[in-house]
Chains A and B, each alone.
Chain A
Amino acid sequence: GDSVTQMEGPVTLSEEAFLTINCTYTATGYPSLFWYVQYPGEGLQLLLKATKADDKGSNKGFEATYRKETTSFHLEKGSVQVSDSAVYFCALSTKAGGTSYGKLTFGQGTILTVHP
């Protein structure tokens, strides 16, 4: 079945440090890939996504590139801020169509804490 493996946390960084959170996946077919962010006490928000190989998703200074050859979708940010402290989830969705319901399969989440 489909699965997502994320870098184990927690990750603790100083403000303006470079961030990488690794994510690899296994899936049949050609999934879409997502990063969701969960701020303390809140639901999940879509951070960025990529729907085909070599696509780069970007938002709020975060980037991730869909690498089919390495089945990876690593999240990066050049300079983190205290406000980036949150839990980050990598996820994949199989292509939905017909009777397929296109569910999300999540990684276990990575807690990021950024200190001033």
Chain B
Amino acid sequence: SQTIHQWPATLVQPVGSPLSLECTVEGTSNPNLYWYRQAAGRGLQLLFYSVGIGQISSEVPQNLSASRPQDRQFILSSKKLLLSDSGFYLCAWRDAGISGNTIYFGEGSWLTVV
């Protein structure tokens, strides 16, 4: 069966520090991968998606970047965090086959920028 893991689960970072959140998927090949952000009291916003290694699309302009160095690894980064980057970050995956239209989420990472 497929599983998705992301880490760290919780982190507190000062303004201006770098960020790296990592996500891996097991039990599938060539998945579509996603990073979502959920700001406090708000809905979910798609930040990045990837359909293959090295292929990253950004949905909104922002202070963050994403990379996919391996088929089942998706990394969310920032060189210098802003206070507004605080939130709950969720990695997700979907089977890229035409019939696979359910998106499955990781456990989430709580980021507080202070």
Q: A89-B43, A101-B32 are in contact. Are A43 and B106 (CB under 8 A)?
A: yes
B43 with A103: CB separation less than 8 A: no
How many residues of A sit at the interface, in one of the four size bands?
20 to 34
Does A32 belong to the interface (CB within 8 Å)?
yes
Contact of B34 among A96, A103, A108 (CB under 8 A): A103
Q: Which of B14-22, B64-72, B95-103 is the contact stretch?
A: B95-103
Does A99 belong to the interface (CB within 8 Å)?
yes
Annotate B27-68 by CB proximity to A: 1 below 8 A, 0 otherwise: 000001010000000111010010100000100000000000
A43 with B34: CB separation less than 8 A: no
Main secondary structure of the interface of B (DSSP, over half): strand
Q: A89-B44, A99-B51, A108-B43 are in contact. Are A46 and B102 (CB under 8 A)?
A: yes
A34 with B102: CB separation less than 8 A: yes
Q: A42-B108, A101-B32 are in contact. Are A93 and B103 (CB under 8 A)?
A: yes
B105 with A45: CB separation less than 8 A: yes
- Least distance between B72 CB and chain A CB atoms (Å): 16
Contact of B46 among A42, A103, A109 (CB under 8 A): A103
- Least distance between A33 CB and chain B CB atoms (Å): 10
B49 with A96: CB separation less than 8 A: no
A49 with B44: CB separation less than 8 A: no
Does A102 belong to the interface (CB within 8 Å)?
yes
Cα of A109 to Cα of B46 in the assembled complex, Å: 15
